[in-house]
Structure formats: structure tokens, C-alpha cells
Structure 1
């Protein structure tokens, strides 16, 4: 059978063109992977070893004319397990400030105000451990376990805070969440105070806070769920004490991160460069944030809505 040379030349050219497209596609995949953080690439590698496709890896098409394949259930890890492994692998990139209880929300006993005050604070507090300070949060005396004090009260014994005070772990605010977890594991009290460079208390972090950063909030470990409430128009009302990570976890809204702030309230303070007031608005990427309420000097509730919605209105 005699095949015209034109057909052979066309077949060769077509094969070369296909190979060129394959090489170009492989190059683009490698370039995309290089742009991902090292920990993200590590997480993706673990996902592949465990038999599931990473979220950063595009789904394969069933045919040349299919533009995008619908996501299909993957064997191996469940979605919750997938998220948990990612949280563990990225824990070293998160600051301890992103998971701690901020200073205004810390509950503590003032040792100068007598035993009646201590009794009231213990009854009001849902926590198993409470700080004892000497008139000010920065004048720390130590940590007491609520059960020890309540046991003394129920037994009718005289309540002496000094007899039950224990020394807490102190961490600088530059500590990562992973470092905090390692330090707390080695300490007899699963609680640490986070201080700034001047020794002033910035927040408090517990083992439960760090576990929640990995697995999500644990039942009955904290009262606040950041009050993320989706509105009918697609906007959200959120607790401004939520960190950027918690906000994204609860709502799917990924706001711009900056070392200058950790929480939504901190975002307002950073952008406004003054104490926020009710009605203040800031633009963060594609989202407009508005102050709905204040708690002392920080933002209590915030309204988060798409910026284009506001512009259209």
C-alpha cells in the first residue's frame, strides 16, 4: 500500500505538536507546584500516599472536549480527616496569637478583692482553671484549679488562694502554634500566658485551643462559636474576636492576612488606625466589613458582605 508523503508529514507534525502540548502541560503543573508553600506541597504528597487527590490538584478530564470535571468522591480519607492532616502540617505556620483567647476576654480573680469576689468569679467562670492576679492582669500571681477551690468551699474550709496557686507557662507572642503545643505538653498545667516584648499579657492559650486549631472546636470546651450567622442576602454577621483562620473555617471567607493583626477586630484597628466606632467600614479584598457593635474598646459584632453588593446598592 502506497501512502502519500503528505499524510506521513502531517502525522509526524501532528505527533510533534501533541508532544509539545504534553511538555507544556507538565511544565505548567510543575510551575504551579513550585508556587505552593513547602508545607502545602508536603500535605499534598501525604494526601497522594494515602490514596486521595489533593485539593490543589486539578481533577482529570474524561475526554479532550471536557473543560472541567465534576468533583467525585475519592477513596481514602474523609473530608474531615483531610482537613485535619492539613491543619497539623500547617500548624507551624500559625502564630499562637491566632488561637489564643485575647486579653479582654480573659477571666481572672483579683486577689485584692477578697474571698467573696473569688467565690463569685469561680461560680461565674465555665473554665476549669482561672488566673489569680494582684489588682491587674499584668500582676500575675498564678493559676488556680477551680475544682481545688470549690472542694475547699464545699468542705467548709477557709479559702486561701495562695495555697492553691500554681505557676503557669509563659510564652512570647512570637511563638508558633506548634511550638506552643510542644511546650504545653511538657508543662504540668495545660495552659500558657502569651506576653509581648515588655512582659504585658496579650492572651491565654490552652491545650484545647490548640487541639481546636487542628480538629475544629471541641464540644463544651469554649462558649464562643464566633456567632457566624449567614444572612438571606449572602452576607455574614460574625464575632469580631474570631481569628482570620476561624472566620475562613466558619464562613469560607478568606480575608487578607497580615502580621499586624490576628482577629477581625484587629483588622479594623489596623485599617482605621484608631479605635473603631459603630458604623465604621473597611474594605478587605472583595469584602466590605462594618462595625455593628462594640465591647469596651474593641469590635464586638461585624457585618461582612460582598463589596460589589454595597456598590450596587
Structure 2
């Protein structure tokens, strides 16, 4: 799992835009509570006035630890009254948030401002946001709810609970898994990339004769997260990427990049980072792994091979 540094200018700006846009969204939904049918709207409005209004900013941009505290406070009321639950789900409505509206802030605006280009969980798939010049919204990453909506309905549109990810990790693999800060990595909190290491071994158990493994500390948040997203299994569907790296080591020396720079690029000033990106199609600096698929995997394997 990759880390999103919440203190970078880009993420700070994205969070401010989210807060501004979603305050309008939330209060417009609160204003429409009277339109709910089959519920005690007076009860819902009193509940929001007494228990929710002062918490709205924290519910939108509060850090994960704060979100859990608020959810633990609100959930007994939600569990006690189906009307209150319907009111919470109506106001903090994720399905409305992800609609492709041109006239209000929503999921596409958040994805565009975050500019997370690969899946946070697997770093295999691109998650670029594409919006046409005329405003038509074409594609964006899915947003995984780190804390599941069913257990924490008040967090359905919370900034730190919306993790940009690919559909495979979010829908096909994670699904409704209940995650906690004590047992799993949170991308905005934990920067444990050095605890996770891709490696490989030769084996007769596969057609290719190769097996990709992921090493993590035993019984750690890192190991739990790797298992939760089946990282070993999905990466072993990309054995071709490993084979290409092994061929690079076989055909060239361990000074491959130096030789390439000295001979093919003689007289051309190319930084080590740019050369690495050109040759391997991934990022050299770990803080940029998020920009290109397989960056973490290729970095670990190339280090193991002595190529970098």
C-alpha cells in the first residue's frame, strides 16, 4: 500500500476544495429533509441540530482517528432509530456524491484535485481522472471506503475515508471487509513502504518457473494489508513484468544504466531519475511511485538484481 502525504500542497488544496464544496452539498441535503417520506422528519432535524451540526466539519475533513470517535458517538442513535439512520444516509449520501453533475462539487472534482494516478492499494492499475473540455466526465478512480459505509454511515463522504483505488482492489477483492486503524495500513496515516518488499524465487509449481513473493514483518499492519488486497496473488498474474527485468539483468551487466547513459546518450544530459523512467517506465523516487504502475515492484526487484 502506498502513502498519500496529507501535508503536501496538492493534498492540502484538495482537502480545502472538498470542505468548501461538500459543506454546500451537506447543508443543501439538510434543507431538504422535509422531503423525506415515511419518516419522522422533525425527529431527524432535532437530531441534526443537537448532535450533528457541530460535527459536520470534522465529519468532512477530520482525520481517521477523529472520524472513528464521531462514528462511535453517533452510531447508538443510528442503531436505535431507523428514521435517524435514514436521515444520516440521506444527508451524507455517497450515491449523489458520485453522480456526474456539471453544476456541483462531487467525486470527479475530488479525484481531479487529488491527482492520484495509480491505485493506492496495488500500484498496478492507472486511476487517472479524465474530464472533457466541455465538462463531460469520462473516468476516475473508484473511492474505497476505508471504514465501510454499512458500519459507519456518517463517514460515507468523509475526505480521509475516500481512498482512490482501482475497481479490482475496491470491488472485486476488498468488498465489505471491515478495516481498522490498529490492524491495517491507512494510506493517509501510515508510510510503511520500507516494510513491504517484493522478491521472487524459482519454483516448479508454476508454468513460468517463477513465483513473486511479498515480504512483510509477521503479524503486522503491513502483512494484514497485503493479505487483504491479495497482493501476492494479483502480482503473480504479472509474471511477464518479472521476466522482463530478469532478461535485463541477463543481457546486460549490473551497470546497465551507467552503460546506457555513457554510450547511447553520450553528450545528452539526463538525470538518473529521468533515465530510470525512460528505461523501465516507472518512477525512481519512492515518493513518486504513486504516479506509475509497478514502480514499487520494479524498484525492489531491480535492487535485488543489482541493476540499480
Same-fold call, TM > 0.5? Answer: no
Structure with more relative contact order (C-alpha pairs < 8 Å, separation 6 or more): 2
| TM-score, normalisation: structure 1 | 0.28
Q: Which structure is larger by alpha-carbon Rg, 1 or 2?
A: 1
Q: Which has the higher strand share?
A: 1
